[in-house]
Amino acid sequence: MHRVTLIPGDGIGPEITNAVKTVIDAAGVKICWDEHQVGQNALEKYGSPLPEHVIESIKANKVALKGPVTTQIGRGFKSINVTLRQTFDLYANIRPVKTLPGVNSLFKDVDIVIFRENTEDLYAGIENVIDNDRVEAVKVITRKASRRIAEAAFEYAKLNGRKKVTAIHKANIMKKADGLFLEEARKVAEEHKEVEYDELIVDNACMQLVQKPSKFDVIVTENLYGDIISDLCAGLVGGLGIVPGINKGEEYTIFEAVHGSAPDIAGKNIANPLALTLSAVEMLKHLGELEAAKSIQKAVENLLRQGRCLTPDLGGCSTTHEMTKELCNLIS
């Protein structure tokens, strides 16, 4: 039996994590869930949005599944997502973005894997108030972080039969910071000549992604650009509701839905659990449960292909419970 830290999150988080637990049970995988609260609920109960016992749980289990957590804009505690990534050195945010059958999307041939550096850049959170009229934010780019995200992207490409890695940057303007990132990406590319390598300035890359995304295979980029590009690519295939997310470090891995907590529909039993389900598929692969992962992936695709028992965001009128029940029925 596997032991996994479970962070339900808030908003729709508890609903979709319960759905995913049901689906995993239906696939025959035994998991002991070590469940913990973070965010506002934890702050009220324990005096911290990320209590120490949650950190200790992830350290012990090394694997976590996390639902969405609300992050207040412009105020409140630091993003739980950012804090977890920095605490556990989850340097690679991996987003597989692929066209799925039956989903109303702009393109039919998208199959991109994004490797986003996950620990530094502007997300290092270094901000200084200079005076009442000026705030400075510090962009941090290091050689170590740039090299290891590039290595992760090229290793993935090599192991999964991918043909090309594209580095996305803004080195024409940020010549030193993004220049350092490119310098390390080029060094890693020289060590993996069996994989094609190219580079694109981020604004040009965004234009090309919305014109012909089939040109892209594996993308490697810095934290801020990766955050934006990941959501852009999700929009190409039908939205964040069907895209998994992986935060991977040397020792620890956290799997999560990449969408928000959607407090406006929390408790209404209409939340779409597929993004977290697909994240759980990646988690099962990580745990060595390959057959179960394959069965759930196939069930998700068949569910979408048949077009019934879908939640409103996917064009249906079913509840979360109804979708989950049908998904379980389709698991073979």
Q: Where does a domain end: 237, 252, 273?
A: 237
Q: 166, 170, 167: which is closest to 139 by C-alpha?
A: 170
Of 189, 222, 237, the residue at which a domain comes to its end is: 237
DSSP per-residue string spanning 279-327: HHHHHHHHTT-HHHHHHHHHHHHHHHHHT-S--GGGT----HHHHHHHH
Residue with tokens 């940020």: 174
262 φ/ψ sector (left φ>0, alpha ψ -120 to 50, else beta): left
Tell me the mean pLDDT in the region 181-205: 98
Mean pLDDT, the chain, whole residue set: 94
203 is catalytic: yes
Pair (162, 187) in one structural domain: yes
pLDDT of residue 75: 54
Mean pLDDT of 71-95: 82
What is the reported pLDDT for 41?
Answer: 83
Of 21, 121, 123, 248, which one is the catalytic site residue? 123
If asked whether residues 78 and 163 sit together in one domain, one would say no
Q: Residue 265 is inside which H or E element, if any? A: none
Query: In the structure, what pLDDT confidence band is assigned to residue 72 with cuts at 50, 70 and 90?
Result: low
Which of these is catalytic: 225, 227, 248, 313? 227
Residue 77 has pLDDT above 70, yes or no: no
Question: Whats the size of the chain, residue-wise?
Answer: 332
Residue 42 tokens read as 């934890």
Whether 231 shows a pLDDT value over 80: the answer reads yes
Q: Which amino acid is at 181?
A: F
217 given a catalytic annotation: no
> What pLDDT, on a 0 to 100 scale, did the predictor assign at position 17?
97
- 92 and 170 belong to one structural domain: no
H-type helices in the chain, by residue range?
13-26, 40-46, 52-61, 80-87, 143-159, 177-190, 202-211, 223-237, 274-286, 290-306, 320-330
Q: 44: domain range?
A: 1-98+239-332
Query: Can you give the pLDDT at residue 63?
Result: 98
CA distance 169 to 166: 10
The pLDDT of residue 286 is above 90: yes
The C-alpha atoms of residue 35 and residue 12 are separated, in whole angstroms, by 16
| 227: annotated active-site residue | yes
Residue 33's φ and ψ, nearest 5 degrees, are: -85, 120
Q: Provide the pLDDT confidence category of residue 322 given band limits of 50, 70 and 90.
A: very high
Active site residue 212: no
Average pLDDT over residues 162-183: 98
150 and 118 assigned to the same domain:
yes
Judged against a pLDDT cut of 60, whether residue 57 lies above it is answered with: yes
**Residue 95: which pLDDT band, with cuts at 50, 70 and 90?**
very high
User: At residue 187, does pLDDT exceed 80?
Assistant: yes
What CATH number does the domain containing 263 carry? 3.40.718.10
Residue 91 has pLDDT above 90, yes or no: yes
- Asked if the model's pLDDT at residue 104 lies above 90, the reply is no
Question: What is the spatial distance between Cα 183 and Cα 312, in angstroms, rounded to a whole number?
Answer: 46
Q: Are residues 274 and 243 in the same domain?
A: yes
Same domain, 65 and 120: no
Q: Mark whether 280 and 219 lie in a shared domain.
A: no
- Whether residue 312 is found in the same domain as residue 211: no
**Which of 171, 206, 237 finishes a domain?**
237
- CA 66 to chain CA centroid, Å, is 10
pLDDT of 74 above 70: no
Q: What is the pLDDT of residue 39?
A: 84
| Active-site hit among 45, 59, 144, 203 | 203
> How far, in Å, CA of 235 to CA of 243, rounded?
10
Catalytic residue check, 231? yes
Same domain, 228 and 122: yes
Could you say which of 34, 89, 111, 231 is catalytic? 231
Residues 158 and 232 in one domain: yes
Query: Regarding predicted confidence, which is higher, 123 or 23?
Result: 23
Find the catalytic residue in 66, 121, 156, 170.
170
Q: Are residue 114 and residue 91 in the same domain, yes or no? A: no
Asked whether residue 73 falls in the same domain as residue 194, the answer is: no
Average pLDDT over residues 285-294: 97
If you average pLDDT over residues 252-279, what whole number do you get?
95
**Number of structural domains in the chain:** 2
Q: Round to whole Å and give the CA distance between 56 and 132.
A: 40
Strands 244-248 and 92-98 turn out to be antiparallel
